[in-house]
Amino acid sequence: MSTSRPDTRFLFRHPAHWIALGFGSGLAPVAPGTFGTLAGIPLYFWWLAPLPVAWQYGLMAIAFVLGISVCAIAGRALGEVDHGSIVWDEIVAIWLVLAMVPHDWPGVLLGFIFFRLFDITKPFPVGWLDKRMHNPLGVMLDDVLAAAYAILVIRLLYWAHG
């Protein structure tokens, strides 16, 4: 585990650093994953939500693939493949959650809460994947699985409450 803490100089040293660190949200001194997730919410509503659904999913797929590369570059520079300051995986995952839950305040709030809960606690197979796939694809994929759990729970809650 790397003890290096990136700074704004690191952030702007390479475009991949800027993206992987969530445009600076990953520099938060505590809970950078939470700050990255929070940064992803307005980005989704500004950039993706106005687009047709097919475009949203296409751009999320591109962002996922881009994430593999930028996480690899930033992880190498930081000396750790899944350094805590790398939050692009949280941003892409919250976009997926937001694309699949109601766009009302409860839906967005529940999306944030349940995604963070599953990203932090890593229920099977999220934690299993996180431990065994210690590479940039694994960095991106475990968050997508946590997003899937969040989507499932929220959809079930909305279904149960009419």
pTM: 0.95
- The proportion of the chain whose per-residue pLDDT surpasses 90, expressed as a percent, equals 90
Q: What pLDDT, on the 0 to 100 scale, is given for residue 131?
A: 86
Mean pLDDT of 74-99: 97
Q: Domain segments of the chain: what residues?
A: 8-160
Residue 3 pLDDT more than 70? no
Separation between Cα atoms, residue 83 and residue 93, nearest integer Å: 17
Contact predicate 70/88, CB 8 Å? yes
pLDDT single digits (tens) 10-59 = 999 999 999 999 999 999 999 999 999 999 999 999 999 999 999 999 99
Residue 63 pLDDT more than 70? yes
Contact predicate 70/137, CB 8 Å? no
Mean pLDDT of 127-142: 91
Separation between Cα atoms, residue 77 and residue 57, nearest integer Å: 30
